[in-house]
Amino acid sequence: MPVVPLKEIVDRAFAERYGVAAINVVNDLTMEAVLAAAVEQRAPVIIQTSVKTVRSIGIDLLFAMWRAMTAGIEVPVTLHLDHCPDREFISVCLHKGWNSVLFDGSRLPVAENQRLTVDIVAEARSVGANVEGEIEAITGVEDGIGSDEEADRESLSVALEFIRTTGIDVFAPAIGNAHGVYRAEPKLDAQRVSDIVAAEPIPIALHGGTGMTDAQFTDLIARGCAKVNISTALKIVYMKSNLAFLEGARERNSWDPPSLFAAVRADVMQMAAEQVNVHDFIESLPGSYQEPLRERGSGLSTGQKQLINFARALAHNPRILILDEATSALDPVTEARLTAALDEVMKGRTTFVIAHRLATIRNATRILVFDQGRVIEAGTYDELVQRGILLTMNGLASALRNSG
């Protein structure tokens, strides 16, 4: 699958209410590790670069790295320029081949920010790129850009006027989020996301994701946050991994740079992959995979029970899978990730899926729509959408997929 526009990734995530990780990379090793994790987990990813990173590596070399590492890649990926207040540098990146940019005009008067963003959107459209916009500064300094002082939030009407006038593809509102490391659990204005999306359905970018709780992520993604920025987490893992390896090398008096690179790559990959599978949940149990479960799985949430049942079923390598509302208790993010993993698992076996959630059956070979026990429509997802069936149906959708 080729590199795709940002809009293609976030529009689908927004429609189906799951979040896509937008991870800031700092060099070739972290870029390769994040891309490898995305391929391994069969998940889309947005690779972000700060102005500082682009300038330190060099725009030609960084883009050559991107082209080489994404040649023939098997999952949707896109290259995004994060928080750039430099209008001229945005043009340079757009014409070099970046798929999207965030013009950071948050320190400007809204009218001036809006005027410049309109111009940037027009330029981006001319080269097939997309634009993320913002009108308030996200608290915190990242790669030399930003401020530790919390900015005032604009009214809903001002935000909507900015979105509609500029024609941006993604909007990044301030909701109490911050760049860097939170000193305590952040207090977020999630309702602001809902208010914006209700008035103007646009994918929302969630900045300052490092340190938010799982519950906060789940809630905000369900409200419309389709792009989830992760920067500080990668920097911490990258620096600590280097430090730990070098301290061990000093103790062993063994100096082997390729081993250092391999160790750091593995840690960065794990950080990126931690967003997407059941392994982390099982590892969090006191006894890991040896943890005894109480009768009827008491002590586990319904979603956790579903994940374990999936693992048990797949351990038997069945020729036929029947999934009856198998993801009903999962949050939208976990469901999207599990569905992507199941696409791979379903190869070579027949799978029946019974579901109300459209995301679960999107890739089915054939979908049967039932109403009071009768089949009223049949076809692929795209065929039924074109006929307006899936957009209005309230009955049970049953998907039959036979890839064997």
Closest CA to 29 of 230, 255, 266, 244: 266
Q: Which two tokens stand for residue 266?
A: 């593995």
**In contact, 25 and 47? CB cutoff 8 Å:** yes
**In contact, 120 and 92? CB cutoff 8 Å:** no
Q: How far apart are CA 172 and CA 207, in angstroms?
A: 7
Q: How far apart are CA 343 and CA 235, in angstroms?
A: 32
Q: Which two tokens stand for residue 361?
A: 């059956």
To 5 degrees, how large is the angle CA 311–CA 315–CA 316?
A: 130
Query: Which residues make Cβ contacts (< 8 Å) with residue 284, sequence separation at least 6?
Result: none
Catalytic residue among 11, 28, 60, 82: 82
**Per-residue b or e along 3-25, where b marks 16 or more CB atoms closer than 10 Å to that residue's CB:** bebbbebbbbbbebbbbbbbbbb
Q: How far apart are CA 140 and CA 176, in angstroms?
A: 11
Tell me whether residue 267 is one of the annotated catalytic residues: no
The set of catalytic residues is 82
